[in-house]
Structure 1
Amino acid sequence: MTESTSTGPAAAAPAPGVGVLKSVVLDVPDLATEAGFWTALTGGAVKFTDHDWITVTTPDRWDVAFQLAPDHVPPQWPGQEHPQQAHLDLYVPDLAAASARAVELGATVLRENEQWITLSDLAGHPFDLCLKEESDGVTVMGPTFDCPDASELAAFWSGVLGAPVAYDADGVAMLGGDRPVLFQSVADYNPPRWPDPAHPQQVHLDVGVPDLDAGETAVLALGAARLPGEGSGFRVFADPAGHPFCLVL
């Protein structure tokens, strides 16, 4: 887990991307419990519900969705046997108060230091509370993805989302824009092997596109791989580090 609030040499802005980031999606064994935790923690509100899906919109307009996964295998951070593949970073104005509130809601503290605290939610997903004294309550910094090479994965997602690489140094990279996405290099990285339940995804991104055929062609050209799974409004892919993601209409 790494807080990335400093800035490094910025790359030139890329051409317009394939799509826009719509949702950060967490696999969970219990929709109502997990959505309730994140709604209470962020002060968000339920935007959409279905039999296997709930979307919560935070006050700072991030959509965090929860997808029912009855055979969910929780991460066992910080090891790589059943690793996290991604986590959410949240800004808070007071670390102690925010951590106490998260624990009151059912979170578990995993690690503490002066600038951020790592906890796990009710489904075992790690997340970071990062100190930002000027933050207006709990706000979303962005999702952070583990990977073998942060620079390479940031370049891929820069092409997908059309956001510039705003920071790239010391094994950490970050896309700029109003929906930052972060990447951290991890030794002995163990990727998901979706849809194998023994090596499941934990978190994925939904990327909105106007046309699925054109979107598929574009992400494959950037280095994505097609995965099983599609419907009338979505298709499933993996990024170069093996993280599943969906193109959605």
Structure 2
Amino acid sequence: MIGTLRTVVLDAPDIKSLAAFYADVAGLDEHYADDEWITLNAADGTRLGFQRAPDHVPPRWPDPAFPQQLHLDLRVPDMAAAVEHAVKLGATRLPGGGETFTVLADPAGHPFCLCQSDGDSTTIADVAIDCASAGPLARFYSELLGLPVTWEGEGGAMISTEGRLPVIFQEIADHRAPRWPDPAHPQQLHLDVEVADVDAAEAAVLALGGVRLSGGGDNWRVYADPVGHPFCLVW
């Protein structure tokens, strides 16, 4: 394990309204907010971040020219009621879905799924990453996050362990990778990975096939996975 998944971060031009949407839909509490960044916490410790991106180009899923890149799956106790509520808050129904899940776009255009659950509360089920080949990317993130590969099959793979947010890898035909920071090829979402020693973590990431990207600050550096999805090492 190189680090621990700390936060799933969504880009948007208006982070205040998008954070309010997810706080209501998913029952999250605001932990931190300023003009550029908002963090919401779930009861189980899962964190969503919202990063201001003034030039954000939203996905147009399922149009491959404007890919979603990553998406969230939420478990809900009553899917029909949850869909109706999300739409009233500004979500849009998208094509796809089935008896147990519905595909929507949030007010910033990011697709997400509401999935029927046997539980009595809404939870963040997983984060899914698009790619052309799921197995190799799953193994990269397995090493990065210390989560074993628990499923690999036709069309996808998953890494997971008890008590931590699962990560799913979804194969997409003709997947078009982000070219961050080019706003014409946006990241849409990214992961923040918490590490104890950033220099040691960087060496391990590069050895696995990650790439250092421009950008960083007092407690974060930017990288890309072997497919091109940006992520940050934070400390």
Under TM normalisation by the shorter chain, which class is it?
Answer: over 0.9
2:23 to 39, 51, 73: 39
Secondary structure of the equivalent of 1:137?
Answer: coil
Find out whether 1:77 has 2:77 as its counterpart. Answer: no
Residues of 2 paired with 1:61 and 1:37: CA distance?
19
Q: Distance in 1 between matches of 2:143 and 2:202?
A: 13
Say which is worse superposed, 105-114 or 193-202, in terms of deviation.
105-114
Look up the match of 2:148: 164
Q: TM-score, normalised by structure 2?
A: 0.97
What is the CA–CA distance in structure 1 between the aligned matches of 2:34 and 2:2, rounded to whole Å?
27
Of 181, 189, 194, which aligns to 1:203?
A: 189
2:72 pairs, out of 63, 71, 88, with 88
Q: How much has 1:93 moved relative to structure 2?
A: 1.8
**Structure 2: unaligned runs, 5 residues or longer:** none
Q: In the superposition, relative to structure 1, how do residues 60 and 104 fare at CA in structure 2: closer, same or farther (>3 Å)? A: farther
Does residue 55 (structure 1) correspond to residue 24 (structure 2)? The answer is: no
Partner of 1:137: 121
2:110 counterpart of 1:146: no
Distance 2:94 2:49 in 1: 23
Q: Distance in 2 between matches of 1:233 and 1:59?
A: 25
Between stretches 66-75 and 53-62, larger displacement belongs to 53-62
Q: Distance in 2 between matches of 1:135 and 1:167?
A: 23
Cα distance in 2, alignment partners of residues 61 and 97 from structure 1 = 25
Amino acid corresponding to residue 231 of structure 1 in structure 2: G
* TM-score normalised by the chain length of structure 1: 0.91
Could you say which residue in structure 2 is the equivalent of 1:117? 102
1:99 correspondence with 2:83: yes
Question: Which structure 1 residue ranges, 4+ long, deviate > 4 Å from structure 2?
Answer: none
Aligned to 1:217: 203
- Name the counterpart of 2:176: 190
Q: 1:243 aligns with which of 218, 221, 229?
A: 229
Residues 18 and 218, structure 1, Cα contact 8 Å, conserved in 2? yes
Superposed counterparts of 1:17-32, under 5 Å: 17-32=1-16
Q: Deviations over 1:15-41 (max 9, x none)?
A: xx1000000000011011000000001
- SS at the partner of 2:199? helix
Secondary structure of 1:103's aligned partner: helix
Instruction: Report if aligned partners of 2:15, 2:38 keep a CA contact under 8 Å in 1.
Output: yes
What residue is the counterpart of 2:111 in the other structure?
A: 126
3-state SS, counterpart of residue 218 of structure 1? helix
Aligned residues of 2:211 and 2:226 also touching (Cα < 8 A): yes
What is residue 7 of structure 1 aligned with on the other side?
none
Question: Structure 1 residue 232: deviation in Å?
Answer: 1.5
Distance 1:35 1:198 in 2: 23
Say which is worse superposed, 175-184 or 157-166, in terms of deviation.
175-184
Shift of 1:51: 2.1
Cα displacement (A) at 1:61: 2.0
- Cα separation, 1, equivalents of 2:114 and 2:119: 12
The offset of 1:59, in angstroms, is 2.5
What is the rounded CA distance, in whole Å, between the counterparts of 2:28 and 2:107 in structure 1? 17
Contact 1:151 1:171 in 2 (8 A): no
State how far apart, in whole Å, the 2-side matches of 1:18 and 1:113 are.
37
**1:135 CA displacement:** 2.0
Percentage of matched positions with identical amino acids? 52
Post-superposition shift, 1:176?
Answer: 1.0
1:76-106: CA deviation from partner (whole Å, max 9, x where unpaired): 0001111110000111122101111111111
- 1:219 corresponds to which letter in structure 2? V
State the SS of the aligned residue for 1:236: strand
Q: Which consecutive residues of structure 1, in runs of 5 or more, have no partner in the other structure?
A: 1-16
